[in-house]
Amino acid sequence: MTKLQRLQTAKDYYPNAQIELTANSDFQLLIAVVLSAQTTDVAVNKVTPQLFEAFADAKALKEAEYEEVYPLINKLGLAKQKSKNIIKAAKIYDEDFKNIMPRTIEELTKMPGVGNKTASVCLANVYDLPFMAVDTHVWRISKRLSIVGEDANVDQVARELEKILPKKDILQYHHSLIFFGRYMCLARNPKCDKCLLQDDCNFNK
Protein backbone atom coordinates (compact mmCIF):
# COMPACT_ATOMS: atom_id res chain seq x y z
CA MET A 1 0.00 0.00 0.00
CA THR A 2 1.03 3.60 -0.51
CA LYS A 3 1.26 5.89 2.51
CA LEU A 4 -2.09 7.44 1.67
CA GLN A 5 -3.72 4.02 1.28
CA ARG A 6 -2.42 2.95 4.70
CA LEU A 7 -3.83 6.09 6.29
CA GLN A 8 -7.10 5.67 4.40
CA THR A 9 -7.45 2.11 5.68
CA ALA A 10 -6.89 3.27 9.25
CA LYS A 11 -9.39 6.11 8.82
CA ASP A 12 -12.03 3.78 7.40
CA TYR A 13 -12.30 1.96 10.73
CA TYR A 14 -13.74 5.13 12.29
CA PRO A 15 -15.02 7.26 9.39
CA ASN A 16 -17.34 9.38 11.52
CA ALA A 17 -15.03 10.05 14.44
CA GLN A 18 -15.37 13.50 16.01
CA ILE A 19 -13.65 15.49 18.71
CA GLU A 20 -14.65 14.11 22.11
CA LEU A 21 -13.98 17.24 24.16
CA THR A 22 -17.20 19.06 25.05
CA ALA A 23 -17.42 22.84 24.60
CA ASN A 24 -20.11 25.39 23.82
CA SER A 25 -17.92 28.06 22.25
CA ASP A 26 -14.60 28.54 20.49
CA PHE A 27 -13.09 29.85 23.71
CA GLN A 28 -14.31 26.86 25.70
CA LEU A 29 -12.81 24.55 23.08
CA LEU A 30 -9.47 26.32 23.43
CA ILE A 31 -9.52 25.91 27.21
CA ALA A 32 -10.58 22.26 26.98
CA VAL A 33 -7.73 21.49 24.59
CA VAL A 34 -5.23 23.26 26.86
CA LEU A 35 -6.51 21.18 29.79
CA SER A 36 -6.23 17.96 27.77
CA ALA A 37 -2.43 18.07 27.65
CA GLN A 38 -1.11 14.84 29.21
CA THR A 39 -4.68 14.07 30.31
CA THR A 40 -7.49 12.09 28.71
CA ASP A 41 -10.48 13.76 27.09
CA VAL A 42 -12.70 11.79 29.45
CA ALA A 43 -11.00 13.36 32.47
CA VAL A 44 -11.25 16.85 30.97
CA ASN A 45 -14.96 16.42 30.25
CA LYS A 46 -15.52 15.61 33.91
CA VAL A 47 -14.15 18.95 35.14
CA THR A 48 -15.10 21.43 32.42
CA PRO A 49 -18.85 21.57 33.22
CA GLN A 50 -18.09 23.06 36.64
CA LEU A 51 -15.31 25.24 35.27
CA PHE A 52 -17.48 26.69 32.50
CA GLU A 53 -20.46 27.11 34.79
CA ALA A 54 -18.30 29.34 36.97
CA PHE A 55 -16.36 31.00 34.15
CA ALA A 56 -18.25 30.68 30.88
CA ASP A 57 -16.14 33.01 28.76
CA ALA A 58 -12.82 34.81 28.58
CA LYS A 59 -14.15 37.95 30.26
CA ALA A 60 -15.11 35.91 33.32
CA LEU A 61 -12.08 33.65 33.44
CA LYS A 62 -9.53 36.46 33.09
CA GLU A 63 -10.85 37.95 36.35
CA ALA A 64 -10.65 34.65 38.22
CA GLU A 65 -8.18 33.99 41.00
CA TYR A 66 -5.95 30.94 40.94
CA GLU A 67 -7.56 29.82 44.20
CA GLU A 68 -10.94 29.77 42.46
CA VAL A 69 -9.83 27.86 39.38
CA TYR A 70 -7.48 25.25 40.80
CA PRO A 71 -10.09 23.38 42.91
CA LEU A 72 -12.25 22.99 39.81
CA ILE A 73 -9.56 21.23 37.77
CA ASN A 74 -7.25 19.76 40.41
CA LYS A 75 -8.02 16.19 39.33
CA LEU A 76 -6.18 16.80 36.06
CA GLY A 77 -2.48 16.34 35.51
CA LEU A 78 -0.43 19.54 35.79
CA ALA A 79 -3.46 21.27 37.30
CA LYS A 80 -1.46 23.95 39.10
CA GLN A 81 0.26 25.20 35.96
CA LYS A 82 -2.85 24.77 33.84
CA SER A 83 -4.86 26.92 36.27
CA LYS A 84 -2.39 29.77 35.89
CA ASN A 85 -2.15 29.32 32.13
CA ILE A 86 -5.86 29.41 31.36
CA ILE A 87 -6.37 32.58 33.41
CA LYS A 88 -3.55 34.30 31.51
CA ALA A 89 -4.78 32.89 28.20
CA ALA A 90 -8.26 34.24 28.90
CA LYS A 91 -6.85 37.73 29.42
CA ILE A 92 -5.03 37.64 26.08
CA TYR A 93 -8.04 36.12 24.32
CA ASP A 94 -10.34 38.85 25.59
CA GLU A 95 -8.07 41.88 25.46
CA ASP A 96 -5.76 41.18 22.53
CA PHE A 97 -7.96 38.99 20.32
CA LYS A 98 -11.28 40.68 21.22
CA ASN A 99 -12.91 37.36 22.02
CA ILE A 100 -12.38 35.99 18.51
CA MET A 101 -10.35 32.85 17.86
CA PRO A 102 -7.19 33.85 15.94
CA ARG A 103 -6.65 32.17 12.59
CA THR A 104 -2.89 31.55 12.79
CA ILE A 105 -0.59 29.28 14.77
CA GLU A 106 1.62 32.25 15.56
CA GLU A 107 -1.16 34.21 17.23
CA LEU A 108 -2.60 31.29 19.14
CA THR A 109 0.74 30.23 20.58
CA LYS A 110 1.15 33.64 22.20
CA MET A 111 -1.19 32.35 24.89
CA PRO A 112 0.31 30.39 27.81
CA GLY A 113 -0.29 26.66 27.56
CA VAL A 114 -1.00 26.82 23.84
CA GLY A 115 1.57 24.95 21.75
CA ASN A 116 1.48 23.96 18.11
CA LYS A 117 -0.70 20.92 18.79
CA THR A 118 -3.34 22.88 20.71
CA ALA A 119 -3.30 25.62 18.08
CA SER A 120 -3.68 23.07 15.27
CA VAL A 121 -6.65 21.42 16.99
CA CYS A 122 -8.39 24.77 17.39
CA LEU A 123 -7.73 25.99 13.85
CA ALA A 124 -8.83 22.70 12.33
CA ASN A 125 -12.01 22.38 14.38
CA VAL A 126 -13.08 26.03 14.39
CA TYR A 127 -12.07 27.12 10.89
CA ASP A 128 -11.52 23.77 9.15
CA LEU A 129 -8.01 24.86 8.23
CA PRO A 130 -5.70 22.08 6.97
CA PHE A 131 -3.55 21.64 10.09
CA MET A 132 -2.80 18.16 11.40
CA ALA A 133 -2.58 18.09 15.17
CA VAL A 134 -0.26 15.27 16.24
CA ASP A 135 -1.06 13.66 19.56
CA THR A 136 0.41 10.46 20.96
CA HIS A 137 -1.95 8.31 18.87
CA VAL A 138 -1.27 9.99 15.53
CA TRP A 139 2.46 10.02 16.30
CA ARG A 140 2.47 6.29 17.13
CA ILE A 141 0.41 5.24 14.10
CA SER A 142 2.51 7.32 11.71
CA LYS A 143 5.63 5.47 12.85
CA ARG A 144 4.09 2.01 12.97
CA LEU A 145 2.78 2.42 9.43
CA SER A 146 6.10 3.86 8.18
CA ILE A 147 4.54 7.16 7.22
CA VAL A 148 7.61 8.74 8.83
CA GLY A 149 10.90 7.40 10.12
CA GLU A 150 11.35 6.27 13.70
CA ASP A 151 13.38 9.37 14.56
CA ALA A 152 10.77 11.85 13.26
CA ASN A 153 9.64 14.46 15.77
CA VAL A 154 6.09 15.74 16.21
CA ASP A 155 6.51 18.66 13.82
CA GLN A 156 7.96 16.40 11.14
CA VAL A 157 5.05 13.99 11.51
CA ALA A 158 2.58 16.87 11.16
CA ARG A 159 4.26 18.25 8.03
CA GLU A 160 4.44 14.82 6.38
CA LEU A 161 0.77 14.09 7.04
CA GLU A 162 -0.26 17.52 5.79
CA LYS A 163 1.71 16.83 2.61
CA ILE A 164 0.19 13.39 2.00
CA LEU A 165 -3.46 13.91 2.95
CA PRO A 166 -6.11 15.75 0.91
CA LYS A 167 -6.40 19.18 2.52
CA LYS A 168 -10.19 19.04 2.66
CA ASP A 169 -10.07 15.80 4.65
CA ILE A 170 -7.29 16.52 7.16
CA LEU A 171 -9.66 17.22 10.06
CA GLN A 172 -11.52 13.94 9.53
CA TYR A 173 -8.25 12.03 9.27
CA HIS A 174 -7.13 13.66 12.52
CA HIS A 175 -10.22 12.47 14.40
CA SER A 176 -10.28 9.03 12.77
CA LEU A 177 -6.60 8.35 13.39
CA ILE A 178 -7.00 9.31 17.03
CA PHE A 179 -9.85 6.83 17.35
CA PHE A 180 -7.81 4.20 15.51
CA GLY A 181 -4.97 4.68 17.99
CA ARG A 182 -7.27 4.89 20.98
CA TYR A 183 -9.42 1.85 20.23
CA MET A 184 -7.52 -0.36 17.75
CA CYS A 185 -3.80 0.36 17.48
CA LEU A 186 -3.19 0.73 21.20
CA ALA A 187 0.28 1.47 22.53
CA ARG A 188 0.75 -1.73 24.54
CA ASN A 189 -1.82 -4.24 23.36
CA PRO A 190 -2.93 -3.36 19.84
CA LYS A 191 -5.75 -5.42 18.39
CA CYS A 192 -3.66 -6.75 15.54
CA ASP A 193 -5.96 -9.71 14.93
CA LYS A 194 -8.71 -7.29 13.87
CA CYS A 195 -6.51 -5.01 11.77
CA LEU A 196 -6.11 -5.06 7.98
CA LEU A 197 -2.78 -3.26 8.19
CA GLN A 198 -0.63 -6.00 9.73
CA ASP A 199 1.45 -6.42 6.58
CA ASP A 200 2.24 -2.70 6.53
CA CYS A 201 2.84 -2.31 10.27
CA ASN A 202 6.16 -2.31 12.12
CA PHE A 203 4.70 -3.53 15.40
CA ASN A 204 6.36 -6.79 16.49
CA LYS A 205 8.67 -6.78 13.47
* Positive/negative CA dihedral, 62, 108, 168, 171: negative
Q: Measured between alpha carbons, how far is 109 from 147 in angstroms, rounded to an integer?
A: 27
What residues act catalytically? Answer: 117, 135
134 by Cβ neighbours in 10 Å (0-12 / 13-18 / 19+) ranks as buried
Cα end-to-end span (Å), the chain: 17
